[in-house]
Structure 1
Amino acid sequence: MDAAAQARRTADTVARRSYGKLIAFLAAAMRDVAAAEDALSEAFASALADWPRNGCPANPEAWLLTVARRKGIDGLRRRRSGEAAAAQLQLLAEIDDTAPAIVDDEAIPDQRLALLFACAHPAIDAGIRAPLMLQAVLGLDAKTIASAFLASPEAMGKRLGRAKQKIREAGIPFAIPARDELAERLDGVLDAIYAAYAEGWSDPGGTDLIRRDLTAEALFLADLVARLLPQEPEALGLLACLLHAQARCGARRNAAGDYVPLAEQDVALWDSAMIDEAEALLLRASTLGRIGRHQLEAALQSAHVERRRSGRTDWTPEVQIYDALLALSGSPVVALNRALAVAEWQGPRAALDILETLAAGGRLVQYQPYWAARAALLARTHAYPEARDAFDMAIGLASDPAVRRFLQGRQAALPR
């Protein structure tokens, strides 16, 4: 491997492993998420120019932090003056002393969690808090985030920019808030972690550099929040939900790498210890007396596990949980998943009626699972031409090659 390729590979590894840690350190000192991102971006650019010539440093995170600090100081001097700027310059100058701690897992989590809670500040619009966290802490781009939240990349980019400006102008502190302030921010933090896991879950093969390692990062953050707030049932519920999903990860692909839907997975490949941990967390959450979205999501995962293990054919429990979840969230994605449960309970025609109503809203027209669900339901009602068209849409929107092959196989099997 030549020096340039080695440098790029090292930079990519650091970006995936430590982006959130680096941004958290810089943003806490600069009081400016956008400026921290710019400084770190410039530091990575410098690394790709310097490392091929001089070799990759023994501690690339510390190298990047030092260079980003200098870039941040230069940028701050250009943009601002006065006492506030002087105080920030002093904080930035002191970052060098903490650089070696960037690889110390005991030192970093509090900074990263502090950034999450800063992004969830009440002064920031509730609808942009989770997307802001995905970009600031996990490094996702506006296009990827927009896809996750069923929005256009342009609109999402503008909203993210305004939110970062709000943090700077309002002087929002980068610190874990007091206990009496946690409740109003916790939902946004949990939503961001859930969305991060969902993005990583959509790329189980790790082929997408943007999404790679997101599931591990989300699980780490969910565990961190649950340990910080053991009496918050929603924090426990989120961790239970993610553990339930992660427990099935090994069964989602067969030996050939082909996609295996939940109904066809080999339950012997599921991680029983992880499932037991999830069940214990969900039980503990249920004793705290406050139900919420993430507990219901975990309860759905638990019901799926119980149904597959027991052979139960009645889908009433799943539909009832979806009813409660839809009432809480109003999410069209939840409504779509509820429709699939209704198909098993009342038949595919009833589910297709629900999908027709959802389609009228227009939010799911570019959502691949909608077309995959529609295609499968139409096939079950023997509407094969319409099913074939829906499969075309689902295949065209599928980003995972294994899912694409799976859908192509189901389409090819339709009677002509």
Structure 2
Amino acid sequence: MAAEAASARAAAEAAARQSYGKLVAFLAARTRDVAGAEDVLADAFAAALERWPRDGVPDRPEAWLLAVARRRGIDAVRRRLTREAGQDHLALIAEELEAGMAEQEIPDERLRLLFACAHPAIDPAMRAPLMLQTILGFDAAAIASAFLVSPATMAQRLVRAKARIRQAGIPFRIPERQELAGRLTAVLEAIYAAFAEGWLDAAGTETRRRNLASEGLWLGRLTASLLPNEPEALGLLSLMLFAEARRAARRGPDGAYMPLAAQDTGLWDHAMIDEAERLLVVASAMEGLGRYRLEAAIQAVHSARRSRTTGGTDWPALATLYEALLKLTGSPVAAINRAVAVARLDGPRAGLDALEAIGDPRLADYQPFWAARADLAAQLGDREQAAAAYDRAIGLERDEAVRRFLLAERDALDRGTV
């Protein structure tokens, strides 16, 4: 019995990873009741954990979960029927029952849900957290950690945002051209946030983050396919493909962290890089200049190291691209990377000066800033400054593999081998 229960739980977890957002989006598409959709889906997953060990995992877990969730939703509607609202609700029940009899594939409404979450009626600060929860199933605590607020505060804000979708009657649809630009930015940011969360788990071993990079890629592909004339949608997909192509090279055979410059390019997914380059060419031919196209172009420069003819990194191109990204976004992360490129071109003193000129207080707790400072100070022979910066970077890093890498660099500094 224990084996059956474990198998059922694994099947339910797999269905949650693969189908959570799809099922929430489909259930909420007509009612616009996102919280209600999440509630009935939670009931469906609870029913799966109860029944699947006894009855076996169904052939189509996603369809089974949808059918149970629909029944729970219909039961909830029946319980709150009133004379005044009865006819509308009864019509909805009939429609749901009729749809429930069909054996067709479940329509995918996730992109429409993303745009609903990015509607102007939703607080801009809550759009990305709302998307992360409704599409990817992140819990409030995980989102709160990413956005530096308490779990209770984030939970309350998410409840209000979902209620706003229902109360304002926000439609689940792709916006018209005149309103697309503003909401597309919020959608792309949320997709990239999902991908980045999965990207942090280089080995793919953390349950909470598992499959998030592929989920982000899927949403990116969907957005690009539905909006083929939006250069930033193409640029984001290109950027994510460049990054994902290097996943196998990010850790050594023993799990050691491998910085980009030390990665074995033979482990990169060259077909994925080729696809990213094709997308970037198409996006770059379109008007304007955007963040994601610039970041994809930066990744293209790094990926050129796989070429037998060049085999190196075009640091002047990287410095130029990071300068453009910095002017466009004002991002301190772009400023750090620009400083590293400047150091490659003009020496470590010029790079360290550029790093210290950033002056953004947020960098006090940003590990890459201190790691870059430590490396440049070590190159200048300033062991005291380098050691202090390494200590700060090590204290801020949570990834054990990266911590070991930084500790090794710090040890090399102490031995005088840097």
Is the TM value for this pair above 0.5?
Answer: yes
Q: Which residue does 2:53 correspond to in 1?
A: 52
Aligned to 2:42: 41
1:28, 1:115 within 8 Å by CA — same for their partners in 2?
Answer: yes
Q: Which amino acid aligns with 1:402?
A: A
Question: Residues of 2 paired with 1:343 and 1:284: CA distance?
Answer: 32
Deviation at 1:91, TM superposition (A): 3.5
1:390, CA displacement in angstroms? 4.3
SS of the aligned residue for 1:209 comes to coil
Instruction: Give the 3 Å change call, closer, same or farther, for CA 7–413 of structure 1 in structure 2.
Output: same
1:91 aligns with 2:92: yes
| SS, match of residue 30 in structure 2 | helix
Within a 5 Å distance, the mapping from 1:327-346 to structure 2 comes to: 327-346=327-346
Aligned to 1:134: 132
Q: Is the partner of 2:375 in helix, strand or coil?
A: helix
Amino acid of the structure 1 residue aligned with 2:319: V
Deviations 1:5-60 (A, max 9, x none): 12211111111111111111111133122222222223222322332333333322
**Structure whose CA Rg is larger:** 2
Q: Which AA in structure 2 matches 1:182? A: L
Quote the Cα distance in structure 2 between the aligned partners of 1:59 and 1:229.
Answer: 31
Letter of the structure 2 residue corresponding to residue 22 of structure 1: L
Match of 1:17 in 2: 18
Aligned equivalents of 1:374, 1:159: Cα separation in 2: 38
| Structure-2 change in CA distance of 1:393 and 1:218 (3 Å) | same
Aligned to 1:32: 33
The alignment partner of 1:412 has SS state of helix
Residues 347 and 133 of structure 1: is their aligned pair in 2 closer, same or farther, counting only changes over 3 Å?
A: farther
Matches for 1:143-222 after TM superposition, within 5 Å:
143-149=141-147, 153-222=151-220
Q: Distance in 1 between matches of 2:364 and 2:69?
A: 41
Relative to structure 1, the CA distance from residue 30 to residue 385 in structure 2 (aligned partners, 3 Å threshold; closer, same or farther) is farther
Residues 251 and 257, structure 2, Cα contact 8 Å, conserved in 1? yes
Structure 1 residues 250 and 31: CA distance shift in structure 2, 3 A: same
Aligned AA for 1:315? Answer: W
State the shift of 1:118 in Å: 0.9
User: Is 2:258 the counterpart of 1:257?
Assistant: no
Cα 1:46/1:318, change in 2 over 3 Å: same
Partner residue of 1:2?
3
The Cα shift of 1:182 comes to: 2.6
Over the aligned positions, Cα root-mean-square deviation in angstroms equals 3.0
Distance across 1 between alignment mates of 2:90 and 2:380 = 67
CA 1:313 to 1:16, structure 2 compared with 1: closer, same or farther past 3 Å?
closer
Q: Deviations over 1:153-172 (max 9, x none)?
A: 55544433332222121110
In structure 1, give the amino acid aligned to 2:400: P
Q: Specify the code of the residue in structure 2 equivalent to 1:164.
A: K
Q: Distance in 2 between matches of 1:325 and 1:372?
A: 21
CA displacement at 1:273 relative to structure 2: 2.4
Measure the CA separation in 1 of the matches of 2:358 and 2:151: 22
TM-score w.r.t. the length of structure 1 is 0.87
Q: Which residue of 1 aligns with 2:234?
A: 236
Q: Which amino acid aligns with 2:236?
A: L
Partner of 1:415: 414
1:354 to partner: Cα distance? 5.2
Report the Cα distance in structure 2 between the residues aligned to 1:294 and 1:406, rounded to whole angstroms: 29
Letter in 2 for 1:13: A
Structure 1 letter corresponding to 2:413: L
SS at match of 2:35: helix
Q: Is the 1:29–1:92 contact (alpha carbons within 8 Å) kept by the matching residues of 2?
A: no
> Shift in Å at residue 361 of structure 1?
2.4
Change (3 A) 1:377 1:135: farther
Which of 248, 267, 270 aligns to 1:272? It is: 270
Given that 1:340 and 1:373 are in contact with CA atoms closer than 8 Å, whether structure 2 keeps it comes out as yes
Change (3 A) 1:371 1:132: farther
Could you list the per-position Cα deviations for residues 206-245 of structure 1 after superposition, in whole angstroms to 9, with x for gaps in the alignment? 1111111111111111111111111111111111111111
Q: Percent identity?
A: 58
Distance across 1 between alignment mates of 2:85 and 2:407:
59
1:380 alignment counterpart: 379
Structure 2 unpaired stretches of 5+: none
Shift of 1:252: 1.5
For the residues of structure 2 that align with 1:79 and 1:192, how far apart are their CA atoms? 35
Does structure 1 residue 402 correspond to structure 2 residue 408? no
Please name the residue that 1:120 is paired with. Answer: 118
Query: Structure 1's 44 and 245: CA in aligned 2 closer, same or farther, altered over 3 A?
Result: same
Between 70-79 and 250-259, the greater mean CA deviation after superposition? 70-79
In 1, Cα distance between equivalents of 2:85 and 2:29:
14
Compared CA separation, residues 322 and 141, structure 1 to 2 (3 A): farther
Q: TM-score, normalised by structure 2?
A: 0.86
Question: Structure 2: which amino acid aligns with 1:405?
Answer: R
